[in-house]
Structure 1
Amino acid sequence: MSKYHKGSKIFVTEVVIKVMDLNRAVEFYKSIMGFKVLRKKEKKVVMTVDGINPIVTLIRPDDIVPKEHRRTGLYHFAILLPTRKDLGKFIKNIREKGYPIVGGSNHGVSEALYLQDPEDNGIEVYADTPDRNWERTLIGVKMITEPMDYRGLIELAGDDVWQGAPDGTILGHMHLHVSNLDESLNFYSALGFKLVQAMMDQAYFVSTGGYHHHIGFNIWNGKGAPPPPEDSAGMKYFTLKFPDEDTRKEKINNLKEQGYVMIEKNNKLFTRDPSKNLIKLIV
C-alpha cells in the first residue's frame, strides 16, 4: 500500500454511490474496474479489492431521482493502482472491451486515465510516479497536465492481461464540486489537511503527510452551486480514516469550534463540509 495511505496520514478509504440501476452498476464495477462483491443485499452491493475492505458501495434507494447538473458533490473518485504496469493493463482492458474514456494525462506526480461509470459518476484510474521525482514547492507539490503516454503504458503491460484490480489497489483521493473554495479549505484544514496546490482560484488540492493530494475540490459547477437533493443519484458520502481516536477527536473538536455539526447514525459518525458533501469519519 502507498505510504501516503497508512500510518499517521488522514486519507479516504471508501465512496458510497446512489444508483438508478444497481445491476448495471455492479456489472460495470466488476467487468471494467475489476472489483469483487464483498457483500450483497437486494438494494446494496459492497465492492472490494482485497476481499476485506470496501472500496465502492452501491445502493439503490426507493425514492431515487436522476442527477441534476451544476450541483456540488462528486467530480470524480480516484482509484490508485500499485504500478505503472497495472495502469497499462487497465488501459488494454477497457480498449479491448470498447469502453469509452474521457481522457488521460501525465500530472508529473501521477499518470491518470479518466472515465465515467454508466450513471455519469466520474472516475480517475491512476498510478503515482516515484515521489523522489516530485517537484516540491513552497506550498506543497507541483502538478502539471501533459499528454499521457498511452503507447508506453500499453507496451509496458506487454502480453499481460488485466485480471481484475490487483492487490494493493486503493481509493487514492476524492475530487469534489464545492460552492466556495476558501470555505472548503478552512473546513478541510480543520480536519488536518494542508493546501499543496491552488489552480488559478478554480481548484484547491489538499493532503496530509506530503502527498500530492488526498482531496481536491473545485468550483467548475459554479461558485455558489447548490447541493443536490437528498434523493438524487450520485455520491451519498465518502469515508475519511484517522490514525487513532485521539486524532479524530481533535479534528472533530476543531470542526465544532467552527460551528460544524456531527451526525451520529447507527453508531457511526458523519459530518458535512460547507457544500453539504457528507463525510464518514472513522478510525
Structure 2
Amino acid sequence: MTAHLPDNTKIGQVSLKVSNLERSIQFYTEVVGFQLLRETANTAELTVGGKHTLLTLKYIENAVILPRQSTAGLYHFAILLPNRVALGLSLRNLLAHEIEIGQGDHDVSEALYIHDPDNNGIEIYADRPREQWKKDTNGFYIMGTDPVDAEDLVAISQNLPWQGLPQGTVIGHVHFHVSNLLKAQQFYCDVLGFDITSRYGSSAMFISAGGYHHHMGLNIWAGEGAPPAPENAAGLDFFELIVPDQRELDAVVARLTAAGYGVQELNGAKYVADPFRIQIKLANGQTS
C-alpha cells in the first residue's frame, strides 16, 4: 500500500538555532514582522496574532555560522502571506531596512528571499489563486523563476502602514539541502507519504499533500553527499509536520517505525530525524 498523507496536512512551526538571541529577536520582529510571544533566558517564541508559536529561536552558545549551501539542512523556511498587498508591505519594509533581497515569480506564487544574521534563509511569499496554477504533460506544477513585479508590489501597498506580518500568515513550506535526492524521496514520499508535485531537472524536487504546489523543497545544491550540519551550528532545530488527527499521527509513526526510523518522545511530543539529520516534530492538528 502506498503511503499517503491526508490532504489537510500542513507545516507548523519552525525552530531555529541562533548565535545571538536578542539580535535575532530584533531582526525577526522589526525586519520580518513577527511579534514576540514569550521569552526565556535561551529561547524566544514568535507569533502572528498572539496565540500560536510560528517561529522559535533557540540560543546556542558559541554557535558556528556556516557558509551558505555548505551542508545538508535548511535552505530556507517560507512565510506565506495572505495576499499580494501584504507582500508589497513586506517588500517596502525590507527596503526601508536596506536588506539584501532576492526574488522570484514562480507562476504559482511571488517570492522574496532574505537571510537572517545567522545565514538562515527566509522566503516571504504570496500564492496566486490555485485555479491559476498550471501543470505540464507529466502532471507536475509549472514553477518558473521570472522576475517579480516589484514596482507593482510597492504601488499596491503605497498608502498603507507597515504593521508587521498580518493575520492569516503561516509557515507555507520548508526547503532543504539534502545529500541524495533518491534517499530524500524514499523517506519523504515512500514512508511519510508526500506526493511529488514538480522536479527541477535532476537537482531538486518539490513535494506536498493535498495538491498544494509544495510543502517541501529538496535539493542537492550543496553537493551530492553534503554532510549533515553540525549540532553546534546555527540553523534548523526542527520543523513541525501537522497531520489532522491522532489516528493519522499514529499511522505516520507506525510507517516510520516499520521503515527503521526511531521516533523519539520528548516533553510529550514525537520527533524523528530524516536521513540527513533534519529533525521533524510530528503533531496532530487537534492538539498542536
TM-score by length of 1: 0.94
The 2-side partners of 1:198 and 1:11 are apart by: 20
Q: Distance in 1 between matches of 2:36 and 2:12?
A: 16
Please state whether the residue corresponding to 1:132 is helix, strand or coil.
helix
The equivalent of 1:14 in structure 2 is 13
- Greater Cα offset, 20-29 or 63-72: 63-72
Q: Which moved more, 1:64-73 or 1:85-94?
A: 64-73
Deviation string for 1:103-136 (max 9, x for gaps)? 1111000000000011110000000001111002
Letter aligned with residue 99 of structure 1? I
User: Residue 160 in 1 paired to residue 135 in 2?
Assistant: no
Alpha-carbon contact 2:198-2:205 (below 8 Å) kept: yes
Deviation (angstroms), 1:242: 0.7
Aligned to 2:42: 43
Matched AA of 1:220: W
Q: Is the 8 A contact 1:22 1:43 kept in 2?
A: yes
The count of aligned residue pairs is 276
**Structure 1 counterpart of 2:64:** 65
2:275 equivalent to 1:274: yes
User: Structure 1 residues 8, 209: closer, same or farther in 2, change over 3 A?
Assistant: closer
Aligned to 1:56: 55
**Greater displacement, 71-80 / 243-252:** 243-252
Structure 1, unpaired ranges of 5+:
1-6
- Aligned residue for 2:32, secondary structure, equals coil
For residue 97 of structure 1, report the CA deviation from its aligned partner.
2.1
Given that 2:140 and 2:199 are in contact with CA atoms closer than 8 Å, whether structure 1 keeps it comes out as no
Following superposition, the deviation at residue 61 of structure 1 comes to 2.6
Q: Quote the RMSD (CA, aligned, Å).
A: 1.3
Match in the other structure for 1:221: 222
CA distance in 1, matches of 2:37, 2:193: 31
Question: In structure 1, what is the equivalent of residue 250 of structure 2?
Answer: 249
1:182 to 2:182 alignment: yes
Q: Which runs of 4+ in 1 moved over 6 A?
A: none
The answer as to whether partners of 2:187 and 2:274 remain within 8 angstroms in 1 is yes
Q: Is contact 2:84-2:153 (8 Å) kept? A: yes
Alignment match, 1:3: none
Distance in 1 between residues matched to 2:273 and 2:27, nearest whole Å? 29
- Counterpart of 1:56, as a letter, is L
| Larger CA deviation: 54-63 vs 38-47 | 54-63
The equivalences for 1:109-258 within 5 A come to 109-137=108-136, 138-189=138-189, 190-258=191-259
Which structure 2 residue ranges, 5 or more long, are not aligned?
Answer: 1-5
Once residues 13 and 183 of structure 2 are traced to their aligned partners in structure 1, the CA distance between those partners, rounded to angstroms, is: 24
How far does the alpha carbon of each residue in 1:170-215 deviate from its partner, in whole angstroms, 9 at most, with x for none?
1000000111111111111121210001111101100001000000
In 1, the alpha carbon distance for the partners of 2:185 and 2:53 equals 27
After TM superposition, give the deviation of residue 224 of structure 1 in Å: 0.8
Aligned to 2:24: 25
**Quick one: distance in 2 between partners of 1:63 and 1:250?**
39
Kept after mapping to 1: 8 A contact 2:19/2:62 = no
% same residue = 40
TM, length-normalised to structure 2: 0.93
1:133-156 CA-to-partner distances (Å, cap 9, x unmatched) read 100243332211111100111111
The residue identity in structure 1 corresponding to 2:268 is N
